[in-house]
Structure 1
Amino acid sequence: MFSNLFRNLFLSEMITDKPSRKIIKPDDTNSECVITEVASTVCLDNNGLPASLTVYLPLRKYTFTLTHQLLSKLGKVSKFVLKALSTEGCGLKDIERIAGLTEEHLSPILSRLTGLGWFEPASKELTAQGYEMAKAVGLTGRQFSLWIDALDNRNSPLILISADQIVQVEDDSQGIRLPEFERDWNILEVLQKQRLSRRLSAYKDKEGDLMPLLMLLCDEAEHSALQQQKFAWEFELELDRELSLPSYIEFTLPRGLDISKDSGKQLNFYAPVLHYSATYSVPPLLIDEIPHPRCQIFNYCLLSGVSLQAETLYEQASSWPEFLNIPLSTMMEKMAMDIPTDSVFLSKEVVVTRASRKIAMSYTVLSQLIAKNIKTALPQEMTS
């Protein structure tokens, strides 16, 4: 069936000595090799993913420390005094006895608490505001673990408060690991705090997600104290440097996903292509009788079987696992039906090789997919 089509056929992963395509090697030896192609037939799915793709979103673990605009500036002894005075039945004499403090030690502390409006010298008791602040003392300095995605510094971060969805990925045999936007840990830590602040902080008509996050992290009994001081809470963020490699969360990009939207910063995927080229020669006796035919070139997507329109191809590894490729025998049957029959007077040399085509997806589209499809205790907004 294939004797005419694949006469003198060479199936190879490498380019032959007489390639039918031009290879452009960039100056940077680590860059992709670019292959320019002659026009071929039209692809029906150039603007969509040819097959579903499992991707692994990188996350880093951070220590999230809750701080308070006023309480964080108090010393440990001042916090102890404030907390002790809020305890029923505990007075200044009890504090002096328990902590070994004298009236001379307590005087500047009480003066400061008085100046803040938290202590009433006449009654030697806390004011209503003082009792409120005493409840907040126990929350100041509290630490929690957060996992924050490292995909794109410009978009709203994905925040996990537990490692339940975290997976460990050893290789890309089942999917592809997405890159982190920054490799320098010091820079990453600074940028991630700025990124988290943009999501958590309140501004204009946006309340921010700090209070919803704190409600998830703290016990229900502490919610009242959190709410009473909701405009005073701040945070510090520190990267967990004991973990050298990122963690990952898995999700799937669906087949047919429209990738033509948005033209901002893009992430490149590579889909496998079967490249067919045929060069012809005319018998010397018939040179004046038969015009020399042009080289025939056809490209087929190995994931969907669709014939591709003219585009640049690359010698880049496929982003899709090998087992998703359509068998070569099936592709040969399709090509035998699509490629026209040649003149019996022509000699033909056929070369079939593998290549890949670039599929560029904007980070904005990808971030929207993450927000929509990855379920977390603190849902993301659909826009950055």
Structure 2
Amino acid sequence: MKVGSILPNSQYQLLHQTLIQDITKITTSIKEPKPTINTSDLFDPFITAFLAIGSYNTYKWHSSFTQEIWKNLEVIAQSDLCTNFLERIEKQLDQHETNEPLHFLKSELLISSKTQPRSKLKQYSESLIEKYPSNLEFQHNYAHLLIDMNKSPSSKDNLVALNIYRKYIQSFASYTPHIVLVNTYNIDVKFYQKLRDKKEYIHAQKWLDSMAQFKPYNDDALLRNNTITLSEMLKERMHLEGTMKEQLKNYQEELDKIRAAQSGQNIQQLSIFTAIITFVITAAMSNLSTNGGFGSLAVFGVILIMFVVTASLISTPPKDFFADIRGKLLTLFSLICLFLVGAVYVAKKEAITFNCIFNCNSFAYFPVESVDNNLPSLHSNQ
């Protein structure tokens, strides 16, 4: 049989089984602590046999077959024998014209091993896509790289990767590996979440509608139900935010009314408070100008403090008057005020009594000349 020739379907199924068995034997040997055979001796026979799958088509490269190859190549990529395997692939790449299968092995190993820069692997994948545009496996690997290189879940490159994944899934329909289907669905959900978080609800709903219409998602009960749940949650969020906005608008209108009323009330209170303070200050100055003394000034000072505390209590009434520090202060200063008023009153009374006694004594010693002026002259007739 010529390497790379097209085989009947039954023969390809047998070839797939044989290749899976051969690569499984390699990975089993790698996993053994003390392998009974030289594992690297199994590489060349497997590489040569793998060339028989030929150029790409969805049957010869069926996802059920390639998925098993992925899994085993990942094991080889993480082992010390990966470099040896890659060198043997490179050697055979120069010996065969039909080397599309070999590039598949090489790209899978390089991506899984992560020993080379992702940018270099991206260029390699782009060259394979250009050379083999119909090969979905190369496109699939390219999508892996885009996702791996772009941490932002909704970048433009990830959108390209999403479209590749969807195309891959549609090509194999129900034969698509479930992990590929779920991973693609999760990428879709991340794009929806970005639209939702930006409050672009109309576009978010359209995105969910496109997910609901994607047949592979819809055929999976779990994914279908999850999409329905996301859609219902989005509608609920839109309704809730609409209600909250309406309530906020109403609250704002009520607040504006309260502020307007409170502003007028504040102006009235300020006018009254200003008049009272002016009166207190005027009375205090008048008292000082008439030698009222420190006692009267102290009384007016205490009254002013009481006024300020009372104004605070009126503006923000306490739940418990005596538990509030302002209530205690008002009570204390009220007592002090009473004491000072009494003290001032007593002091003024004593001052009046003293002045009266002093004035009475002064009249007892009035000058004689004043009396003579009011009496007839004794010498007027003389």
TM-score past 0.5 threshold:
no
| Structure in which a larger fraction of residues adopt strand | 1
Shorter chain as denominator, the TM-score bin is: under 0.3
Q: Which has the larger radius of gyration?
A: 2
Whose RCO is larger (CA < 8 A, sep 6+)?
A: 1
| Structure in which a larger fraction of residues adopt helix | 2
Q: TM-score, normalised by structure 1?
A: 0.18
